[in-house]
Amino acid sequence: MKRVYLFEEGEAKDKKLLGGKGANLAEMTRMGLPVPPGFIITTETCLEYYGAGEKPPEGLMDDVATAIKHIEEKTGKKFGDAHNPLLVSVRSGAAISMPGMMDTILNLGLNDSTVKGLVEQTDNERFAYDAYRRFISMFCRIALGVDGELFDEAFERVKQKYGVEYDTDLDAKALKEAVVGFKEICRRALGREFPTDPYEQLRLAIEAVFKSWNTPRCVAYRKEFKITSDIANGTAVNVEAMVFGNMGNDSATGVAFTRDPATGENVLFGEYLTNAQGEDVVAGIRTPKPIAEMGKEMPATCRELLKIREILERRYREVQDFEFTIERGKLYMLQTRSGKMTAQARVKTVVAMVKEGILAEEEAILKVWPEDLEQLTHKRIDPKAKVKPIARGLAASPGASSGVAIFSADDAEREGRAGKNVILVREETKPEDVHGFFASQGILTSRGGKTSHAAVVARGMGKPCVSGCEAIRVDPHAKTAYVGDVIIKEGDVLTIDGGSGDVYLGEVPMIEPKLGGDITELLRWADKRRKLGVMANTDTPEGARDAKRFGAEGIGLCRTERMFSETDRLPLVQALIMAGSAEERKPYLEKLLPVQKRDFKEILKAVEGLPVTVRLLDPPLHEFLPSRDALIEEVEELKREKSLLVLKKRTHTVVKRMENVEKSIAEKERVLKRARVLAEINPMLGHRGVRVGVTCPDIYEMQIRAYYEACAELMKEGVKIKPELMVPNICTVEELLVVKEIVARVAEEVEQKFGVRVPMKFGTMIEVVRACLEADRIAEVAEFFSFGTNDLTQATFSFSREDAENKFLSIYTERGVLPDNPFQTLDVEGVGRLIQMGVELGRKTRPDLEIGICGEHGGDPKSVKFCHEVGLTYVSCSPYRVPIARLAAAQAAIKS
Amino acid sequence: MKRVYLFEEGEAKDKKLLGGKGANLAEMTRMGLPVPPGFIITTETCLEYYGAGEKPPEGLMDDVATAIKHIEEKTGKKFGDAHNPLLVSVRSGAAISMPGMMDTILNLGLNDSTVKGLVEQTDNERFAYDAYRRFISMFCRIALGVDGELFDEAFERVKQKYGVEYDTDLDAKALKEAVVGFKEICRRALGREFPTDPYEQLRLAIEAVFKSWNTPRCVAYRKEFKITSDIANGTAVNVEAMVFGNMGNDSATGVAFTRDPATGENVLFGEYLTNAQGEDVVAGIRTPKPIAEMGKEMPATCRELLKIREILERRYREVQDFEFTIERGKLYMLQTRSGKMTAQARVKTVVAMVKEGILAEEEAILKVWPEDLEQLTHKRIDPKAKVKPIARGLAASPGASSGVAIFSADDAEREGRAGKNVILVREETKPEDVHGFFASQGILTSRGGKTSHAAVVARGMGKPCVSGCEAIRVDPHAKTAYVGDVIIKEGDVLTIDGGSGDVYLGEVPMIEPKLGGDITELLRWADKRRKLGVMANTDTPEGARDAKRFGAEGIGLCRTERMFSETDRLPLVQALIMAGSAEERKPYLEKLLPVQKRDFKEILKAVEGLPVTVRLLDPPLHEFLPSRDALIEEVEELKREKSLLVLKKRTHTVVKRMENVEKSIAEKERVLKRARVLAEINPMLGHRGVRVGVTCPDIYEMQIRAYYEACAELMKEGVKIKPELMVPNICTVEELLVVKEIVARVAEEVEQKFGVRVPMKFGTMIEVVRACLEADRIAEVAEFFSFGTNDLTQATFSFSREDAENKFLSIYTERGVLPDNPFQTLDVEGVGRLIQMGVELGRKTRPDLEIGICGEHGGDPKSVKFCHEVGLTYVSCSPYRVPIARLAAAQAAIKS
| A738 to B829: CB separation less than 8 angstroms, yes or no | no
Q: Catalytic one among B378, B453, B622, B857? A: B453
Mean pLDDT of A816-825: 91
DSSP class of residue B800?
-
Q: Among A632, A635, A639, A682, pick the best mutation site for testing chain B contact (most B Cβ within 10 A).
A: A682
pLDDT bucket at A610, cuts 50 / 70 / 90: very high
Cα end-to-end span (Å), chain A: 35
Distance CA B322, CA B269 (A): 10
Interface contact B813, partner A, CB < 8 A: no
Mean pLDDT of A879-896: 94
The pLDDT value given to residue B436: 87
**Is A453 a catalytic site residue?**
yes
Is B891:B865 a contact under the CB 8 Å cutoff?
Answer: yes
The pLDDT value given to residue A747: 97
DSSP class of residue A370?
G
Residue A292 has pLDDT above 90, yes or no: no
**Is A302 a catalytic site residue?**
no
Looking at beta carbons, which residues of chain B come within 8 Å of A632?
632
Quote the crossing angle between the two packed helices A198-212 and A43-51, to the nearest 10°: 80
Residue A421 has pLDDT above 60, yes or no: yes
| A769 to B803: CB separation less than 8 angstroms, yes or no | no
Q: Which residue of A has its CA nearest to B628?
A: A629
Looking at beta carbons, which residues of chain A come within 8 Å of B691?
807-808
| A685 to B734: CB separation less than 8 angstroms, yes or no | no
Is B453:B436 a contact under the CB 8 Å cutoff?
Answer: no
Mean pLDDT of A793-797: 97
Mean pLDDT of A359-371: 94
Looking at beta carbons, which residues of chain B come within 8 Å of A731?
796-799, 830
- A634-689 pLDDT, tens digit per residue, is 888 888 788 888 888 889 999 999 999 999 999 999 998 888 888 888 999 999 99
- Identity of the residue numbered B284: G
Element housing B238 (H / E)? strand B235-241
Is A116:A82 a contact under the CB 8 Å cutoff?
Answer: yes
Interface contact B630, partner A, CB < 8 A: no
- Identity of the residue numbered A250: D
Pairing of strands B235-241, B88-94: antiparallel
DSSP-assigned beta bridge partners for residue A558 = A614
B803 → closest Cβ in A632, A680, A734: A680
Q: How many other CB atoms are there within 10 angstroms of residue B3's CB atom?
A: 18
The pLDDT value given to residue B288: 82
A296-A300-A306-A307 Cα dihedral, nearest 10 degrees: 170
Q: Which residue of A has its CA nearest to B792?
A: A798
CA distance B427 to chain A (A): 14
DSSP-assigned beta bridge partners for residue A495 = A402, A504
Is A443:A494 a contact under the CB 8 Å cutoff?
Answer: no
Is B324:B243 a contact under the CB 8 Å cutoff?
Answer: no
Beta-carbon contacts below 8 Å between A and B: 174
Looking at beta carbons, which residues of chain A come within 8 Å of B767?
798
Please provide residue B472's backbone torsions phi and psi, each rounded to the nearest 5 degrees. Answer: -95, 130
Distance CA B115, CA B824 (A): 58
Q: Catalytic one among B854, B857, B867, B877? A: B854
| A797 to B680: CB separation less than 8 angstroms, yes or no | no
DSSP class of residue A12?
G
For chain A positions 676-705, those within 8 Å of chain B (CB to CB) are 680-687, 691, 694-695
The pLDDT value given to residue A460: 67
Q: Give the up-direction half-sphere exposure of residue B165: CA atoms within 13 A in the CB hemisphere.
A: 1
Interface contact A643, partner B, CB < 8 A: no
- A228-283 pLDDT, tens digit per residue, is 888 889 999 999 999 999 888 899 999 899 998 888 899 999 889 998 887 666 55
Measure CA B628 to chain center.
Answer: 37
- Mean pLDDT in runs of 10 for chain B (896 residues)? 95 93 96 96 96 93 96 96 95 86 90 95 91 94 91 93 86 94 94 94 96 87 82 93 90 92 88 82 70 90 95 94 94 92 88 95 95 81 87 88 93 87 91 82 87 76 87 91 92 92 93 78 96 95 90 96 81 88 93 95 96 96 84 83 83 92 92 87 92 95 98 97 97 97 97 97 98 97 97 96 86 89 94 98 97 92 96 94 96 95
Distance CA A706, CA A725 (A): 12
| DSSP output for B692-705 | HHHH-HHHHHHHHH
Distance CA B43, CA B574 (A): 67
Query: Which residues touch A888 (CB under 8 Å, ≥6 apart)?
Result: A370, A860, A861, A864, A865
Pairing of strands A784-787, A850-853: parallel
Looking at beta carbons, which residues of chain A come within 8 Å of B795?
769, 795-796, 798
Residue A374 has pLDDT above 90, yes or no: no
A681 → closest Cβ in B774, B803, B816: B803
pLDDT bucket at A728, cuts 50 / 70 / 90: very high
Is A451:A432 a contact under the CB 8 Å cutoff?
Answer: no
Distance CA A146, CA A140 (A): 5
Query: Which residues touch A406 (CB under 8 Å, ≥6 apart)?
Result: A412, A415, A422, A423, A424, A425, A436, A440, A490, A491
Q: Which residue of A has its CA nearest to B800?
A: A685
The pLDDT value given to residue B281: 64
The pLDDT value given to residue B283: 57
Interface contact B791, partner A, CB < 8 A: yes
Query: Which residues touch A827 (CB under 8 Å, ≥6 apart)?
Result: A793, A796, A797, A820, B770
Please provide residue A243's backbone torsions phi and psi, each rounded to the nearest 5 degrees. Answer: -125, 160
Q: What burial letters (b/e) apply to A723-737, b meaning 16+ CB within 10 Å?
A: bbbbbbbbbbbbbbe
Looking at beta carbons, which residues of chain A come within 8 Å of B732?
817-818, 830
| DSSP output for A176-210 | HHHHHHHHHHHHHHHSSPPP--HHHHHHHHHHHHH
Sign of CA dihedral B801, B804, B809, B812: negative
Q: What burial letters (b/e) apply to B831-844, b meaning 16+ CB within 10 Å?
A: bbbbbbbbbebbbe
CA distance A635 to chain B (A): 14
Pairing of strands A533-537, A555-559: parallel
Distance CA B116, CA B755 (A): 103
Distance CA B604, CA B354 (A): 38
- Identity of the residue numbered B351: V
Mean pLDDT of A329-349: 90
Distance CA A397, CA A459 (A): 5
For chain B positions 716-745, those within 8 Å of chain A (CB to CB) are 729, 731-732, 734-735, 738
Q: Which residue of B has its CA nearest to A793?
A: B770
Interface contact B829, partner A, CB < 8 A: yes
Q: Give the up-direction half-sphere exposure of residue B50: CA atoms within 13 A in the CB hemisphere.
A: 13
B269-B272-B278-B279 Cα dihedral, nearest 10 degrees: -100
- A802: three-class secondary structure by DSSP: helix
- A136-194 pLDDT, tens digit per residue, is 999 999 999 999 899 999 999 999 999 988 887 889 999 999 999 999 999 999 999 99
Closest CA to A738 of A695, A776, A774: A695
Is A174:A162 a contact under the CB 8 Å cutoff?
Answer: yes
- Identity of the residue numbered A362: E
- A407: three-class secondary structure by DSSP: coil
User: CA–CA distance from A747 to each of A559, A762, A765, A767, B639 (Å)?
Assistant: 21, 11, 21, 26, 60
Does residue A723 or residue A225 have the better pLDDT?
Answer: A723
| DSSP output for A250-290 | T-EEEEEESS-TTT--SS-EEEEEES--HHHHHHTSSPPEE
Looking at beta carbons, which residues of chain A come within 8 Å of B818?
732, 734
Is A291:A324 a contact under the CB 8 Å cutoff?
Answer: no
Q: Among A770, A815, A820, A837, pick the best mutation site for testing chain B contact (most B Cβ within 10 A).
A: A770
The pLDDT value given to residue A896: 87
Burial of A854 (0-12, 13-18, 19+ CB in 10 A): buried
| A773 to B830: CB separation less than 8 angstroms, yes or no | yes
- A90-129 pLDDT, tens digit per residue, is 999 999 888 778 888 999 999 999 999 999 998 899 999 9
